Amino acid sequence: MSALAPPSSEPVVAVDRVTVRARSRTLLDGISIDFSARSLTAVVGPSGCGKTTFIRTLNRMVDLTPGLRVEGEVRYLGQNIYARGVNPVVVRRRMGMVFQRPTVFPISIFENAAFGLRLVRANEDEIDTAVTEALERAGLWEEVKANLDGPALSLSGGQQQRLCIARALAVRPRVLLLDEPTSALDPAATQRVESTLQRLKDDIVVILVTHNVGQAARVSDRVAFLHSGRLVEVGPTAEILERPREKLTEQFITGRFG
Amino acid sequence: MTPSLATPLEAIDDLRRDRTGHVWRRTALDRCVGWVLPLLFLVAIAPIADLVYWVGKQALPTFTWSVLTTNPSGAGGGLFAPLAGSLAILALATGVSVAFGFLGGLATAEYLSERAAGVVRIAANVMVGIPAIIVGLFGFLAFVRYFGWGSSLEAAAVTLGIFMTPYVYRATDLAYSSVPSHLREAAVGSGARPLQYLLRVATPIAFPQVLTGVFLAMAIGVGETAPIYPIIPSLVALPPLGLSQPVGALPLYIWEGFENGLILPTAIHRAFQAAFLLLVIVIGLNVLVRVIAARSRRRLEGLFQ
Amino acid sequence: MTPESVPRDGRDRQPLPLSERLLSGLARWWPYAPALIPVALTLAIVASLVGASALQNFGWGFFSFNVTKYGILIFVVGSFLTSLPALALAMLIGLGIAVASTTFLPGWLSSWLDPFVDLLAGIPSIIYGLWGFLIVAPFFGHDIFPWLAPLLSGIPGFHTAVNSPSKEGTGLALAIVILTLMILPITTLLMRDALRSVPRDLWESGLALGATRLEVASRVAIPYSKRGIWGAAFLGFGRAFGETVAVFMVISQVQRLPTNVYGGTSTMASLIISEINDNLSGTGLHYLAEIALVLLAITLAVNIAGRWMIRRTFTDVAGI
């Protein structure tokens, strides 16, 4: 087993019959799907279909919403992350997450990228290397290398979002979760984030939630379609977008709803 | 990909055994702090619970209707005069503070440019910070001496009113400033005159917030000793008879109980009863504020999305 | 030419009489005038104190520690000695409560506890004073100081020759404790609101990076709310510095500097309220007005500095 990625046959993340219930509603209903290394999966579906809940189930962010119950298993390299004795802090360190709007912290660009490493008391040399590498992988290095100590909030929206990606990458997660990362960005910034994502999937598992079918077509190699908390179908991007098996999928991608 | 962390990834792939990055210590610290910090609520609440309990315990056994209906006499008697005095001062002071504060806040929010409003707001914020005793001394110098009103209800009420003004002012300013600007555009666009907009659109939205500001100012004002003590330094045992007559007030009777209580036990009983009455009034006003605020929040929930 | 024979058209060209110009100006500007009320009242307060203080009689001689020659520095020092420690304590405890409420407690519990803290802000200071004098002071004097004083007596300012340094319990230490309790609700409330204004997804991105709740609070939320926390400090200081009645009731007032934390002293505000009744005119009143003027000057300076600083930190945060 390589130090960086397990054999691609074994899924990095296995979602096994996951059901998430709120007090009176079922948000996710018996979802099973595997995510293997070096893949970029787009999770698409109309708003309110449970996309965000789904992605938050993968790194135990659902723990933060009071009243949600999770049934079934989410296995990270074969280990159920919801098992007793598993610390969510440990889980989240392995699964980076990027949100709808850029969420840079009100500190310098460098310190933003170094945030996760400072938490684990990495030494200065490690931090320098990791920050540089993460900014390069996020495609931001050339733009900010002269101004690493400047305030992160002075960056443009697209740059801030790529800084958030770099911040997540700096702790070297195996999985990167993105929740509609371009919904607050203009087309040019969106395009840069998308090309960053395509490069990333060579190293890690990328799971991208989006309501934008075009984006899924541009960047993903697999599409999962969610509707009303159910996984309707999943398959290679070209197949799903051109010859969907299910009626609902076809209606969604041809723009009948959503 | 080059490894950037000293710990290779496969060493920490076991979720349960991972100890890298001091994660156990950090999590344990988080848990401990999570248990200890909430105990600080006790530091804030326990002393005051003791205070309220103790005032109640001292006041209630001797608290009868005659406390509310009879005037003080000597070191004993009831509290009718100071209660009536406090309410009279409060009513007039509220009038003064609303006249000053409401008009001022309205003008600032609706008429001034952002720049000018910024300057005036600083003045209002600074005025909130002026110690009560200084306002009291000002009232004594200006109204008792300079205007020659003497040690009177009117001098006390205007002084307390000035003390309360910045609170009403800020609440009004905030209330009218936070009316969404698209409502004004919509109103003016549909042909409303500025005054119509003010009365029919902005005021219904801002009013509950202004009202809570006024009640909060009253709750602060009614218990203050320092603004009225320099004006009415001697204890008055008669209910308010006229604007130019001196009056008693509840805080002044607590003060008196403190000063004479060790010699005259009846004075200290009276002080507790006055303290109890004040607590009831203050807590009552605060609860009222909360109820109004909660109701208006529900009513306007959709507006500030 | 008589005034009646002035031709009408000529009269139209003349400038309007002053009274009419004033009236039309008034009509145009009257809605703006009330906005100046806070400015006018503040200026009136300053003016009345300047007028009464008779700076011209005393000159600057009042900047001395000699009370018999109307020096006021003892009281200035006394005010800082009571309010600064109280502020430090109230900020620390208040920040703890604010973090507990926003970070650690479940929502339903903090929404029950928070209103209690808010309610405390409204309790009149004279009731704090009465309670402090009659209940807390004897408790401190009999039960706390006798065992605490020997433990602490190595610290400068805490040194005391006797085991029970203040039998009555009143003095500087009690004044600090009561002041802390009095300003704790306001500092807590402001810091809590500041922390609550941190966007939810900022909290979540901290947690998603593998931070614990405590780490997000200390590394993200508190830096983000710098502005509100500074505001809480300045407002809390203003409250403590100007507090009058409660301090007077528990400080065991004497007109000298305290020898240690258990000793009595005076603050500017407590001196004014205790002396005003006996000094309704003459030199005594000038003296009190002068103390009030210094108290006001410091309060205003701190307030304005606070506003300015808050604005600065805010622009720092916003990256403007």
Tens digit of each residue's pLDDT (9 = 90 or more) over C235-258: 899 999 999 999 999 998 888 888
Interatomic CA distance for residues C307 and C190, integer angstroms = 14
Q: Residue C120 has which token pair? A: 């405390």
Interatomic CA distance for residues C14 and C298, integer angstroms = 53
Q: Residue C172 has which token pair? A: 């500087």
- Tell whether the model's pLDDT for residue B212 goes beyond 60: yes
Nearest Cα to B299, choosing from B181, B187, B207?
B207
Interatomic CA distance for residues A105 and A160, integer angstroms = 10
Question: Best residue in B134, B269, B287 to probe C by mutation, most C CBs within 10 Å?
Answer: B134
Cβ distance A119 to B27 less than 8 Å, yes or no, reads no
Q: Residue C131: which of B51, B108, B223 has the nearest Cβ?
A: B51
Nearest Cα to C293, choosing from C50, C85, C95?
C50
Length of chain C: 320
Give residue A197's domain range: 13-108+175-253
Residue A230 forms part of a structural domain: yes
Residues of A in contact with B28 (CB under 8 A): none
Q: Residue B194 has which token pair? A: 């500025």
The residues, ordered by sequence, that sit 6+ positions from A199 with a Cβ below 8 Å of its Cβ are: A137, A139
Q: Residue A152 has which token pair? A: 């992160």
CATH number (domain holding residue C308): 1.10.3720.10
Of the listed ranges A236-245, B192-201, B216-225, the one predicted with least confidence: B192-201
- What's the CA dihedral at B94, B97, B101, B104 to 10 degrees? 130
Residues of B in contact with A85 (CB under 8 A): 16
Mean pLDDT for all residues in chain B: 87
CA A253, A241, A228, A190 torsion-angle sign: negative
Interatomic CA distance for residues B232 and B222, integer angstroms = 15
Stated as kind and residue range, the H or E segment containing A35 is: strand A26-35
Across-strand partners of A35? A13
Residue A160 forms part of a structural domain: no
- The helix/strand/coil state of A252 is helix
- Tell whether the model's pLDDT for residue B279 goes beyond 80: yes
Tell me if B35 sits within 8 A of C111, measured CB to CB: no
pLDDT-based confidence at residue B14 (cuts at 50, 70, 90)? confident
* Residue of higher predicted confidence among C205 and A23: C205
Cβ distance C130 to B257 less than 8 Å, yes or no, reads yes
Domain count, chain B: 1
Nearest Cα to A19, choosing from A10, A31, A7, A8?
A31
Q: How far is the alpha carbon of A38 from chain C, nearest alpha carbon, in Å?
A: 21
Interatomic CA distance for residues B61 and B58, integer angstroms = 7
- Number of C-alpha atoms within 13 angstroms, CB side, residue A5? 17
Residue A129 forms part of a structural domain: no
Domain count, chain C: 1
Computed on alpha carbons and rounded to an integer, the radius of gyration of chain C in Å comes to: 27
Give residue B259's domain range: 76-299
Interatomic CA distance for residues B132 and B166, integer angstroms = 12
Residue with tokens 């090309």: A195
Cβ distance A119 to B4 less than 8 Å, yes or no, reads no
Interatomic CA distance for residues A169 and A161, integer angstroms = 13
Angle subtended at Cα A109 by Cα A106 and Cα A112, rounded to the nearest 5 degrees: 65
| pLDDT of C5 | 45
Residue B59 forms part of a structural domain: no
pTM: 0.87
- The helix/strand/coil state of B72 is strand
Which residue of chain A comes nearest to C214, CA vs CA? A119
Domain count, chain A: 1
Residue A152 forms part of a structural domain: no
- The helix/strand/coil state of A130 is helix
The whole-number average pLDDT for the span C119-138 is: 91
Alpha-carbon distances, residue C6 vs A128, A217, B294, C18, C19 (angstroms) = 90, 88, 68, 19, 21
Residue A137 forms part of a structural domain: no
pLDDT-based confidence at residue B302 (cuts at 50, 70, 90)? low
| pLDDT of B284 | 93
- The helix/strand/coil state of A40 is strand
Residue with tokens 């076809």: A250
CA C33, C35, C37, C40 torsion-angle sign: negative
* DSSP letters spanning C272-307: HHHHGGG-SSHHHHHHHHHHHHHHHHHHHHHHHHHH
| pLDDT of C298 | 94
The residues, ordered by sequence, that sit 6+ positions from C244 with a Cβ below 8 Å of its Cβ are: B131, B132, B133, B225, B226, C125, C269, C270, C272, C273
- The helix/strand/coil state of A20 is strand
Query: Which of the given ranges, B73-82, B179-188, C1-10, C293-302, has the highest pLDDT on average?
Result: C293-302
Q: Residue C31: which of B107, B261, B290 has the nearest Cβ?
A: B107
| pLDDT of C87 | 97
pLDDT tens, per residue, chain A with 258 residues: 334 444 455 788 999 999 999 988 899 999 999 998 889 999 999 888 899 999 999 999 999 988 899 999 999 988 999 998 899 999 998 899 999 999 999 899 999 999 999 998 888 998 999 999 999 999 999 999 999 999 999 999 999 999 999 999 998 888 999 999 999 899 999 999 999 999 998 888 999 999 889 999 999 999 999 999 999 999 999 998 888 888 888 888 887 665
| pLDDT of C243 | 93
Give residue C162's domain range: 71-318
Angle subtended at Cα C106 by Cα C101 and Cα C108, rounded to the nearest 5 degrees: 95
Backbone φ and ψ of A2, nearest 5°: -65, 160
Interatomic CA distance for residues A131 and A111, integer angstroms = 9
| pLDDT of C57 | 61
| pLDDT of C314 | 43
Residue A126 forms part of a structural domain: no
How does pLDDT run across B60-80, given as a tens digit for each residue?
988 888 888 888 877 778 899
| pLDDT of B303 | 62
Interatomic CA distance for residues A209 and A99, integer angstroms = 10
Tell me if C210 sits within 8 A of A116, measured CB to CB: yes
Stated as kind and residue range, the H or E segment containing C97 is: helix C73-99
| pLDDT of C11 | 47
Interatomic CA distance for residues C144 and B273, integer angstroms = 29
Residue A167 forms part of a structural domain: no
Length of chain B: 305
- Tell whether the model's pLDDT for residue B262 goes beyond 70: no
Determine the angle formed by the axes of helices C172-196 and C107-120, rounding to 10 degrees: 140
Cβ distance B16 to A121 less than 8 Å, yes or no, reads no
- Tell whether the model's pLDDT for residue C315 goes beyond 70: no
- Tell whether the model's pLDDT for residue B9 goes beyond 60: no
How does pLDDT run across B94-129, given as a tens digit for each residue?
999 999 999 999 999 988 888 888 888 888 888 888
Alpha-carbon distances, residue B255 vs A57, B226, B272, B283, C278 (angstroms) = 61, 10, 11, 20, 16
ipTM at complex level: 0.90
Residue A237: Cβ within 10 Å count: 18
CATH number (domain holding residue B261): 1.10.3720.10
How does pLDDT run across C17-70, given as a tens digit for each residue?
777 777 777 767 777 888 889 899 999 999 999 888 866 566 666 777 877 777
Residue C100 forms part of a structural domain: yes
| pLDDT of C162 | 65
Q: Residue B66 has which token pair? A: 């005659």
| pLDDT of B189 | 86
Burial class (CB in 10 A: 0-12, 13-18, 19+), C315: exposed
Tell me if C49 sits within 8 A of B138, measured CB to CB: yes
| pLDDT of A98 | 95
Neighbors of chain A with 3 or more C-beta pairs under 8 Å? B, C
| pLDDT of B41 | 93
CA A150, A156, A157, A161 torsion-angle sign: negative
Question: Best residue in A68, A100, A103, A165 to probe C by mutation, most C CBs within 10 Å?
Answer: A103
Mean pLDDT for all residues in chain C: 84
| pLDDT of B294 | 85
- Tell whether the model's pLDDT for residue B6 goes beyond 70: no
Interatomic CA distance for residues C230 and A107, integer angstroms = 18
How does pLDDT run across C261-312, given as a tens digit for each residue?
888 899 999 999 999 888 888 888 888 998 999 999 999 998 888 877 766 5
Angle subtended at Cα B121 by Cα B120 and Cα B124, rounded to the nearest 5 degrees: 90
Nearest Cα to B102, choosing from C35, C301, C218?
C35
Tell me if A76 sits within 8 A of A207, measured CB to CB: no
| pLDDT of B158 | 97
The whole-number average pLDDT for the span C190-195 is: 91
CATH number (domain holding residue A42): 3.40.50.300
Residues of C in contact with A169 (CB under 8 A): none
- Tell whether the model's pLDDT for residue C10 goes beyond 50: no
Residues of C in contact with A176 (CB under 8 A): none
| pLDDT of A256 | 64
Residues of B in contact with A126 (CB under 8 A): 4-6
Residue with tokens 């000035």: B162
Percent of chain C with pLDDT over 90: 43
pLDDT-based confidence at residue B258 (cuts at 50, 70, 90)? confident
Of the listed ranges A27-36, B17-26, C156-165, C167-176, the one predicted with least confidence: C156-165
Q: Residue A90: which of B1, B8, B15 has the nearest Cβ?
A: B15
Tell me if A258 sits within 8 A of A46, measured CB to CB: yes
Interatomic CA distance for residues A178 and A63, integer angstroms = 18
Residue C267: Cβ within 10 Å count: 31
- The helix/strand/coil state of C69 is helix
Interatomic CA distance for residues C209 and A94, integer angstroms = 9
Cβ distance B223 to C31 less than 8 Å, yes or no, reads no
Q: Residue C210: which of A93, A106, A152 has the nearest Cβ?
A: A93
Q: Residue A130: which of B5, B20, B26 has the nearest Cβ?
A: B5
